[in-house]
Structure 1
Amino acid sequence: MKIYTVLIAAVAALGGLLFGFDTAVIAGTLSPLKSYFNLGDVAIGLVVAASSIGCIPGAFFAGRLADHFGRKKMMAATALLFIIAALGSGLAGSFDQLVIYRFIGGLAIGMASTLAPIYISEIAPPAFRGRLGMLQQLAIVMGILLAFISNYFIANTSNSFLTNENYWRFMLGAAMVPSLIFFFLILTVPESPRWLILKNKLGKARDVFRNIYEEQEADQEMKTIMTDIKTDAGEIKFSEIFSSKYKKVVLIGIVFASIAQLTGINIVFYYAPLIFEKTHVGGSVLFQTILTGIVNLVFTLIAFTLIDRIGRKKLLLAGAAIMGLCMLFIGYLFYANKLDNYFVLISIFVYIAAFACTWGAVLWVYVAEIFPNRIRGHATSFAIFGNWVLNSVISFTFPVMLSGLGPANTFFVYGIINLGMILFVSRYIFETKGVALENIESVY
């Protein structure tokens, strides 16, 4: 694999870094926002969920817009939305304004979570598609860790312009820096060659493929894709996505992407400080939150060596089992009030490690590779749309569940859900390791 392929995939994955940063940065601002705007649990849930709610239309329309305008142009538009959201959130003068700019940031996250996996899957050689697709997840966890580190240092910096009243503004506005970098770098990458072929721009597509493959391989890839596209010629209609030919794989993709949120991973990152505040372990909760980000990053790197070797399905099964047991154990610790030790912290670390190595590693790779060329943009949007619908519901309800059901019952619920996912994966997930995109239909 050429270094050029890695570089352009890495640039596209920077959208994932902003995705991770914007979703996680809110964790460090919840306490100051509660006091600054005098917010209750429902309002805090809305601030967190506003981003996830914005992801729903962002993900839903991104694939169709990318099919029409191209992957590259839509990624550039996504970067501009990230810039607007960061600036607006940092300058928000009211609770309503903050919710609006968080929603705009969510639009960008939803688009990025759809566009980057599509683009990377379409430029990646089959043997390396898992690892290149994982650049998206690696970027997400790096963005999460960067947000936690940024929050920690801003909260612990003492100077004339940073006060207890305004440091949340600098936390939210810090996303401006990576957003600008992403915008300028995305202008340097080529358009997806598969999209260029769909638009009959064969010369440009061939040039891109020759930068990705050796000349003979590039020509063969062109022939394979053109044959596949000719077989499915014509404009795709909305109803066709759920036709008998595609319905099974589309439903698998939507359900899989949606239940990935039911693992509970984002409640850990969104509400980590609130969870740690309920334990009796000493130390800064923001520093403990940084540690969760480090664990996430380390085990995502480990997953690089596993995804194309072990395969997608085995990783998902192992992850669901470990995460389920961790959630049940955390629930037990809260139920028995055994919080004057490090077991909660360690259990959360093990849970995050399991997610990073399995569901986190597989999610963005799998939803972008299981759909045939003809419906990939539309179907990927539907799958990630489902992911963000569940994300918004969970983000909004978790603080209410935490105060209403209590921590023990809340974690028991998520533990049972994780174990239940083993049944879905066993029955419906099919292996895609090493399968060319044009041959995916033969697998399912």
Structure 2
Amino acid sequence: MKKYTILIAAVAAIGGLLFGFDTAVIAGTLPALRSFFKLDDAAIGLVVAAASIGCIPGALFAGNLANRYGRKLMMLVTAVLYVIAAVGSGIAGSFEQLVAYRFIGGLAIGMASTLAPIYISEVAPAEFRGRLGMSQQLAIVLGILLAFISNYVIDSAGWSFLSPENTWRYMLAAAVIPSVIFFVLLLLVPESPRWLIQRERHEHAHRIFGRIYEPSKAKDELESVKADLASSGHGLRFMEIFSAKYRKVVLIGVVFAAIAQLTGINIIFYYAPLIFEKTHVGGSVLFQTVLTGVVNLIFTIVAFWLIDRLGRKKLLLIGSAVMGICMMVVGVLFYTDKLDSYLVLAAIFVYIAAFACTWGAVLWVYVAEIFSNKIRGSATSFAIFGNWTANAIVSWTFPIMLNGLGAPVTFFTYGVINFLMIVFVAKYVFETKGVALEKVEALYERL
């Protein structure tokens, strides 16, 4: 695989870094926001969920916009929205303004979570697609870790211009820096060659394939994509993804993407300080939160080695089982009030590790590779719409569940959901390891 391919995939994945940063940075600001704006549990849930709610239309429309205007242009729009959201959140003068700018950030996250996997899958050679697709997840976990580190540094720096009343503003505004870097680097990457072929710009696409593959392979790839599009047709209305030919795989994609959120992973990342405040293990809450990001990063790197060796399906089955057990263990520890034990932290860290090298690794790869060229933009967009809808529900309801139902019932609920996911994966998820994008349709036609 050429270094050029790795570089352009890495630039696209920076959208994922901002996705991780913007979704996780809110965790360190919640105590200050609760005090500053006098927020109750429902309002705290809305502040957190506002980004997820914004992700819903962002993800839903990104695919169609990318089909019309190109992957690259829409990623540039995403970078601009990230900048607006970061600046606006930092200067917000009211709860309503903060929610509005968080919503704009959510639009950017939803778009990035759709566009980056599409772009990466379309420039990646089949044999390396899993690992290159993983660059999106690696960027997300780096963004999460950077958010936690940024929050910790800003909170403990002791700089003269910081105070308890404005520290949260600097935490939220810090995303401006990577957002601007993302925009500048995007100017240097090419358009997706598969999108160019859809627009009948074959010479341009061939030049880009020539930089991704060896010269002889570039010609073969161009002809393969042209033949696939010629047999399936170029045009697609959004509702066609629900036609008899595609309905089943689209439903599999949207359910798969949605239940990835029902693992409960983001209740850990969005609300880690609130969870750790309820435990009695020593140490700084924000520092413990940083450790969750470190574990997430380490095991995402492990997933690079696993995803194209074990395959997608095996990883998902193993991950669901381990995460279900960990959630049950955390629920039992809360139920028995054994919160002074480091077993609480151990269970949470094992849970994060299991997610990072299974569901976290597979999600962004799988939703972009199970759809054929004709429907990839719209179908991936719809699947990620399902992901963010589930994310919004989880992030909004978790603080209400935690304080209303109690921690044991809340964690037991997510434990049961993880076990049920094993059934779905076993029955409906089909293996795509090493399969060319132009051959995927034949797999789901056999379901």
TM-score norm. by structure 2 comes to 0.99
Q: Distance in 2 between matches of 1:395 and 1:157?
A: 29
Tell me the equivalent position of 1:91: 91
Q: Is 1:243 paired with 2:243?
A: yes
Tell me the equivalent position of 2:363: 363
Tell me the equivalent position of 1:311: 311
Q: Is 1:137 paired with 2:134?
A: no
What are the residue-to-residue correspondences of 1:186-335 with 2, within 5 Å? 186-335=186-335
Q: Distance in 1 between matches of 2:309 and 2:335?
A: 40
Q: Is 1:414 paired with 2:414?
A: yes
Mark the runs of 5 or more structure 2 residues left unpaired by the alignment.
none
Tell me the equivalent position of 1:396: 396
Q: Distance in 1 between matches of 2:149 and 2:237?
A: 46
Report the alpha carbon displacement of residue 159 of structure 1 after superposing the two structures with TM. Answer: 2.3
One-letter amino acid of the counterpart of residue 76, structure 1 = L
Matched residue pairs, number? 444
Q: Is 1:383 paired with 2:383?
A: yes
Q: Distance in 2 between matches of 1:302 and 1:233?
A: 40
What are the residue-to-residue correspondences of 1:12-23 with 2, within 5 Å? 12-23=12-23
Report the alpha carbon displacement of residue 238 of structure 1 after superposing the two structures with TM. Answer: 2.4
Q: Is 1:432 paired with 2:410?
A: no
Report the alpha carbon displacement of residue 206 of structure 1 after superposing the two structures with TM. Answer: 0.4
One-letter amino acid of the counterpart of residue 60, structure 1 = L
Tell me the equivalent position of 2:178: 178
Tell me the equivalent position of 1:153: 153
Report the alpha carbon displacement of residue 443 of structure 1 after superposing the two structures with TM. Answer: 1.2
Q: Deviations over 1:300-324 (max 9, x none)?
A: 0000000000000000000000000
Tell me the equivalent position of 1:343: 343
One-letter amino acid of the counterpart of residue 303, structure 1 = A
Runs of 4 or more above 3 Å deviation: none
Q: Distance in 2 between matches of 1:15 and 1:336?
A: 42
Q: Distance in 2 between matches of 1:185 and 1:299?
A: 27
Of 367-376 and 233-242, the range deviating more from structure 2: 233-242
Q: Secondary structure at the residue paired with 2:291?
A: helix
Report the alpha carbon displacement of residue 158 of structure 1 after superposing the two structures with TM. Answer: 1.1
One-letter amino acid of the counterpart of residue 64, structure 2 = R
2:33–2:168 CA contact under 8 A, matched in 1: yes
2:303–2:356 CA contact under 8 A, matched in 1: yes
Report the alpha carbon displacement of residue 239 of structure 1 after superposing the two structures with TM. Answer: 2.5
Q: Distance in 2 between matches of 1:254 and 1:160?
A: 48
What are the residue-to-residue correspondences of 1:116-135 with 2, within 5 Å? 116-135=116-135
Report the alpha carbon displacement of residue 248 of structure 1 after superposing the two structures with TM. Answer: 1.0
Q: Distance in 2 between matches of 1:106 and 1:22?
A: 8
Q: Distance in 2 between matches of 1:365 and 1:433?
A: 10
Q: Distance in 2 between matches of 1:215 and 1:319?
A: 40
2:198–2:234 CA contact under 8 A, matched in 1: no
Q: Distance in 2 between matches of 1:236 and 1:115?
A: 18
Q: Distance in 2 between matches of 1:352 and 1:277?
A: 18
Q: Distance in 2 between matches of 1:206 and 1:159?
A: 53
Tell me the equivalent position of 2:81: 81
Tell me the equivalent position of 1:43: 43
Q: Distance in 1 between matches of 2:79 and 2:187?
A: 11
Q: Distance in 1 between matches of 2:3 and 2:73?
A: 23
Report the alpha carbon displacement of residue 232 of structure 1 after superposing the two structures with TM. Answer: 1.4
Q: Distance in 2 between matches of 1:298 and 1:140?
A: 13
2:323–2:355 CA contact under 8 A, matched in 1: yes
Q: Deviations over 1:278-300 (max 9, x none)?
A: 00111100000000000000000
One-letter amino acid of the counterpart of residue 229, structure 1 = L
Report the alpha carbon displacement of residue 442 of structure 1 after superposing the two structures with TM. Answer: 1.1
Q: CA RMSD in A?
A: 0.5
2:234–2:374 CA contact under 8 A, matched in 1: no
What are the residue-to-residue correspondences of 1:46-61 with 2, within 5 Å? 46-61=46-61
2:22–2:105 CA contact under 8 A, matched in 1: yes
Tell me the equivalent position of 1:405: 405
Q: Distance in 1 between matches of 2:163 and 2:118?
A: 42
Q: Distance in 1 between matches of 2:208 and 2:346?
A: 46
Q: Deviations over 1:100-120 (max 9, x none)?
A: 000000000000000000000
One-letter amino acid of the counterpart of residue 75, structure 1 = M
Of 321-330 and 242-251, the range deviating more from structure 2: 242-251
Report the alpha carbon displacement of residue 410 of structure 1 after superposing the two structures with TM. Answer: 0.3
What are the residue-to-residue correspondences of 1:91-110 with 2, within 5 Å? 91-110=91-110
Q: Deviations over 1:66-114 (max 9, x none)?
A: 0000000000000000000000000000000000000000000000000
Q: Deviations over 1:245-300 (max 9, x none)?
A: 11111110000000100000001000000000000111100000000000000000
Report the alpha carbon displacement of residue 237 of structure 1 after superposing the two structures with TM. Answer: 1.7
Q: Distance in 1 between matches of 2:240 and 2:14?
A: 32
Mark the runs of 5 or more structure 1 residues left unpaired by the alignment.
none
2:50–2:103 CA contact under 8 A, matched in 1: yes
Tell me the equivalent position of 2:374: 374
Q: Secondary structure at the residue paired with 2:375?
A: helix
Q: Distance in 2 between matches of 1:403 and 1:14?
A: 36
Of 334-343 and 128-137, the range deviating more from structure 2: 334-343
